Amino acid sequence: MTTPVTVTVTGAAGMIGYSLLFRTGAGQLLGADTPIRLRLLEVPQAVRVAEGVAMELDDCAFPLLVDVEITDDPKVAFDGANLAVLVGARPRSKGMERSDLLGANGAIFGPQGRAINDRAADDVRVLVVGNPANTNALIAASHAPDVPKERFSAMTRLDHNRAMAQLARHVGVRSSQVRRMSIWGNHSGTQYPDVFHTVVDGRPGAELAGDTQWLTDEFIPTVAQRGAAIIEARGASSQASAADAAISHVRDWFRGTPDGDWTSAGVWSTGHYGVPDGLMCSFPVTSDGKGWTVVDDLEHGEFSRGRIDASIAELVEEREAVRALGLI
C-alpha cells in the first residue's frame, strides 16, 4: 500500500469540518489510491465534539482512512503534516469591528503558521479556508519562514464555482460547459469574478460580457454576495459548498488542473498583473500537481481593471491593519 498522507484539519468540530472530513475519508480529497492519516485540531472546549466526529468516521469503516488523532495542541496537530486545511477561525460576532476580527484571527493563524513551520513535513501544503481567508493565509505564511510561500493558498474556489454556476444558468448551459473562469482579489464583497476570459460552450465569454447591465447589476453582485445570501437563507454560512470547494481546490492542486482549463486560488503574489508583492491575492491558476502557476498574459479592459484594483486595495488595507497589530 502507498505511504499514507498526513492531513491536518483545523476546526474539525465545526460545520465545514462535518462535510469535509467524511468526503476526505471517502477518498475524494486526494484520490481513491491515497491512504490518509487524519489529525484533527480543535479548541479545548470543542475536543469532545471532534471525538464524536471521529467516532462517526470510525463507523464509516473507510478503507483509506488509516488513523484519526484529535488534539488541541497545534504542535501535535501539524507534526509531519503533508497537507494542512485551516478551517477553524474566529467568526465575527455582533458589534465586532473588522480590526478586532483580524486581531482575533491573527492570534490563531500566527501560532498555527509557526507550528507548521516547526513541525510539518518538508513538502507541506496549506489551504486556508477560515475567514478572512486571504489575510489569514498571509499571517500563517508570515509565521512560517522556512516554508516556501507558494505552498500556502487561500480558498476562492467557492467563488469560482459560484461564478461558473451563475454564468451557466444565464446562458442556459451546464456548468461543465463553462471553462476559464477567474476570480481576482479578495474572498470578500470586493472580489472580481471575470467572465471576459471564459469560454462558454465553445464561445468566447467576452461576447456575453457585452451585456454590461447583467454583469454589473446581477452577475458580479450575486457571486460576490452569495456567502451573505446563504447565511441569510440558512441562518448559517455555506457548509457543504465550502467543503466541496476545499475538496476541488486540493484535488486540482495535488493532481493537476484539466488541460485547457484553469481554476482560481489565492496565492502569494510576486508581481503578476501589477499586484504588489506579498499579498495573498486570488488569480486564475493552473497546477501540474506539484504547485500553482498564475495564468499569465490575460488582458484587462478598464471595466475589469478598476474592479481588480479595488479588491487589491482592500487586501493592502487588510495587510496594513494586521501589520499595525504586529501580526506579520
Ligand X SMILES: NC(=O)c1ccc[n+]([C@@H]2O[C@H](COP(=O)([O-])OP(=O)(O)OC[C@H]3O[C@@H](n4cnc5c(N)ncnc54)[C@H](O)[C@@H]3O)[C@@H](O)[C@H]2O)c1
Binding residues for ligand LMR (CB under 6 A): 131, 158, 227, 230, 237-238, 242
Between CA 281 and CA 279 the distance in angstroms is 6
Q: At what angle do helices 133-142 and 98-119 cross, to 10 degrees?
A: 40
Binding map of ligand X across residues 160-189, x = CB under 6 A, - = no contact: ---------------------------x--
User: 108 contacts which partner out of ligand X, ligand LMR, none, CB within 5 to 8 A by kind?
Assistant: ligand X
Burial 50-59 (b: 16+ CB within 10 A, else e): beebbeebee
User: 15 contacts which partner out of ligand LMR, ligand X, none, CB within 5 to 8 A by kind?
Assistant: ligand X
| Residue closest to ligand LMR, measured at CB | 227
- Considering only residues 57, 209, 242, 285, which one is a binding residue for ligand X as defined by CB under 6 A? 242
Amino acid at 154: A
Between CA 208 and CA 57 the distance in angstroms is 45
The verdict on 106 binding ligand X (CB under 6 A) reads no
Place of cell 457585452: 210
Nearer to ligand LMR, 68 or 230 (CB): 230
CB of 218 to ligand LMR, least distance (A): 18
DSSP secondary-structure letter at 31?
A: -
What is the DSSP code string of 132-174? SHHHHHHHHHHT-TTS-GGGEEE--HHHHHHHHHHHHHHHTS-
* 131 annotated binding-site participant: yes
The rounded Cα 38 to chain-centroid distance in angstroms is: 19
Specify whether 187 is catalytic.
Answer: yes
* 162 annotated binding-site participant: yes
* 108 annotated binding-site participant: no
| Residue closest to ligand X, measured at CB | 14
Beta-ladder partners of 281: 267
CB of 326 to ligand LMR, least distance (A): 25
Nearer to ligand X, 88 or 103 (CB): 88
CA-derived radius of gyration, the chain:
19
Place of cell 500500500: 1
* 130 annotated binding-site participant: yes
Closest CA to 308 of 196, 206, 194: 194
Q: Count of CB atoms within 10 A of residue 281's CB?
A: 27
- For ligand X, the binding residues (CB under 6 A) are 10-11, 13-17, 41-43, 46, 87-91, 108, 129-131, 133, 155, 158, 187, 237-239, 242
User: Annotated binding site for substrate: which residue ranges?
Assistant: 92, 98, 131, 162
Q: Which residues are annotated as a binding site?
A: 11-17, 92, 98, 105, 112, 129-131, 162
Residues annotated as part of the active site:
187
